[in-house]
Amino acid sequence: MTARHEHTDTAGIWAQLAAPLPPDAIQWRQDGKPSERQGKYFARFVAYIDAHFVRERLDAVVPGNWDLTLEPLPPTGTGEADSLCNFKGRLSVLGVLRECVGSGPDYKQAATDAFKRAAVRFGIGHELYAFGPNWVQVDGDGKYAKPLEDPAAAYARKAETPSPDPRSERRADVASRNVAAVDADNQRKVENAVTGAGPDGDVACPKCGGKTWDNRATKRNPKAPDFKCRDRSCDGVIWPPKASGNGKGEKHPVSIGEVPGLDDDDDDDGPTPF
């Protein structure tokens, strides 16, 4: 029983360490030189948390039960200009050890990097690795160019409204216009046929677009479709206009549908949906 209780407590501590970061803890820094695109400059920004937040999270969750050891490693780089300092950070939490290597242009930044990377092994700030690229427009191409928009706001906006493909938008717009034109033309043909103004067979099937049979003069049931698709494998039909209840013989707009059935009641209220 005791061992199970300790395991549960430990699991809860790990969950607290790996809890989601508060928005104000996430910061952004420029990574690399800006790139020019059509006369404008954009720089990539990456999200990070500082070492103070990591220390505060550890102190809040496991006060007095964590320890950090830093071991210097040989510098890397091909020359003095691009030489990097390196540290191996060993972070112990409740007796559990995690370690990782950090790098930086000086000892301070390398030590901080090693500390944060080791803390990620306990889940602190792990969600930062899931962040996508964040390109933000800047005011120049220099190393200290300033962003024209808050990188955090830019990333949130892009995450909420992903950029659509302009080609897809154009295809959708053309398709929409074509469908609207076909529908309007078909509606005109139906109205002409129903009123006797159009030739027989001029009405397209609303389901497959093929030719239809004009059943108005031969049908015995007034509730039966006025037009039926000539293709026996298609069940597309066009229902007769719906008479109004004012006794004046007025008609509702032409009803176009593809449901091959009627209501079971006595009222002529159109086809029954599936």
pLDDT at 216: 81
Say yes or no to pLDDT of 102 above 60: yes
CA quadruple 201, 221, 187, 209: dihedral sign: negative
Q: What is the mean pLDDT of the chain?
A: 76
What percentage of the chain has pLDDT greater than the value 90?
42
Of the listed ranges 64-78, 107-121, 244-258, the one predicted with least confidence: 244-258
Q: Give the Cα separation of 180 and 9 in Å (integer).
A: 63
Annotate 92-131 with DSSP letters as a single string.
Answer: EETTEEEEEEEEESSHHHHHHHHHHHHHHTTTTTGGGGG-
pLDDT digits (tens, 9 = 90+) for 59-88: 999 999 999 999 999 998 776 667 899 999
Q: Are 186 and 176 in contact (CB under 8 A)?
A: no
Domain boundaries, the chain: 193-257
pLDDT score of 255 = 42
How far apart (Å, rounded) are the C-alpha atoms in residues 206 and 223? 18
**What is the pTM (predicted TM-score) of this model?**
0.54
Strands of 27-158, DSSP E: 27-30, 35-37, 40-48, 66-76, 84-93, 96-104, 134-138
Name the percent of the chain in helix, strand, coil, to the closest 5: 30, 25, 40
